[in-house]
Amino acid sequence: MGPKIIIHGGFFSESGTNSEIKLAKQEALTEIVKKSYSYLESHSALDTSVYAVSLLEDCELFNAGIGSQIQSDGKIRLSAGLMDGSSGKFSGVINIQDVKNPIQIAEKLISYDDRVLSGSGALDFARKKGFEYFNPETKQRREEYEKKLNASAGLGTVGCVALDKKGRIAAATSTGGKGFEIPGRVSDSATVAGNYANQFAGISCTGVGEDIVTAGLSVKIVTRVIDGMSLKEATLKSFEELKVIDGFAGIIGISASGEIFHLDSHPYMVWASFDQELSVFP
């Protein structure tokens, strides 16, 4: 089986009806998934997930890393989660400030016993590991903050699920939050609800973090794959249960059999995949 990869850039609702921004996001996803697939051909699923999400964090069109949403106190706090399906290890950073690529800090943590750090502890760790000060704020985000244009913003997260040539699966997710949230609010991205992988499947989520955590969405879908469901069947059943709370979520996933699947409850999630051929939506 050849390598496979799928990435997402959150929901289009963040950019409203601006067709130019939508096109720009599609083009960015296309470029990033191509680069990431090429990288995957000679690297592990874990390394590729970090590589792909780093590229997404570096693109200010998305709400992760550069261009993240600003919280109610005027500060940007970033969260990211990473899971290696082979080792079963999860790592993450929650509400870290003044860094460029939170997913790379999560990668450093995966070899430690204490693998999920928050706030100042996460920042201290990052500085000790050589991650220098970086302000991820953009002019557009500051203008949105000052005008309090938050009604349709904040649903954008980025993520990647990769399956490498050796059959290993990894998932990585990163977010700048929903915008104007209470400082200290924790999203799903650095939890197993929003990012999960093992030897059977990997999932990365986007949407309303509270809904995703309430549903335990990623780990629930993967558990159903373990129990014998296809990735599609497991996702559809889990999204039916999500309707009970009127949950807002989107997922991308890959199973060990090579099945790639994506689904969202409130279109349109933007995604791109590469499995011998390129697919981009919408």
Q: What pLDDT, in 10s, does the model give residues 42-101?
A: 999 999 999 999 999 999 999 999 989 999 889 999 999 999 999 999 999 999 999 999
Interior angle at CA 33, CA 204 and CA 105, nearest 5 = 55
The reported pLDDT for the residue numbered 155 is: 53
Task: Give percent of the chain above pLDDT 90.
Answer: 77
Can you give the pTM of this predicted structure? Answer: 0.92
The pLDDT confidence band at residue 137, using thresholds 50, 70 and 90, is: very high
Residue 257 maps to which CATH number? 3.60.20.30
Instruction: List pLDDT tens digits, range 138-193.
Output: 998 888 777 754 444 445 689 999 999 999 999 999 999 888 888 999 999 999 99
pLDDT at 11: 81
Is the pLDDT assigned to residue 276 strictly greater than 90?
no
Cα 268 to its chain centre, rounded Å, is 16
Tokens standing for residue 200: 């059977």
> What pLDDT was estimated at residue 229?
98
Strands 195-197 and 269-275: unpaired
The pLDDT score that the predictor gives to residue 13 is 53
| 157 in active site | yes
Lowest model confidence (mean pLDDT) among 88-92, 217-221, 223-227, 266-270:
266-270
Beta bridge partners of 8: 159, 271
Cα–Cα dist 194/187, whole Å: 8
pLDDT at 12: 65
User: Which positions make up the binding site for substrate?
Assistant: 185-188, 206-209
Q: N- to C-terminal Cα distance for the chain?
A: 27
Q: What is the pLDDT of residues 190-215, one digit of tens each?
A: 999 999 999 999 999 999 999 999 99
Torsion angle defined by CA atoms of residues 248, 254, 260 and 263, in that order, rounded to the nearest 10 degrees:
0
User: What total of structural domains would you count in the chain?
Assistant: 1
pLDDT digits (tens, 9 = 90+) for 21-47: 888 999 999 999 999 999 999 999 999
DSSP codes, the chain? ---EEEEEEEEGGGGTT-HHHHHHHHHHHHHHHHHHHHHHTTS-HHHHHHHHHHHHHT-TTSSSSTTPPP-TTS---EEEEEEETTTTEEEEEEEE-S-S-HHHHHHHHTTSSS-EEEHHHHHHHHHHTT--------HHHHHHHHHT--TT----EEEEEEE-TTS-EEEEEEE--SSSPPTT---STTSTTTEEE-SSEEEEEEE-HHHHHHHTHHHHHHHHHHTT--HHHHHHHHHHHHGGGT--EEEEEEETT--EEEEESSS-EEEEEEESEEEEE-
Please pick, among 157, 173, 175, 235, the residue that the annotation labels catalytic: 157
The residues with which 46 forms a beta bridge, in sequence order, are none
Which structural domain, as residue segments, surrounds residue 251? Answer: 4-281
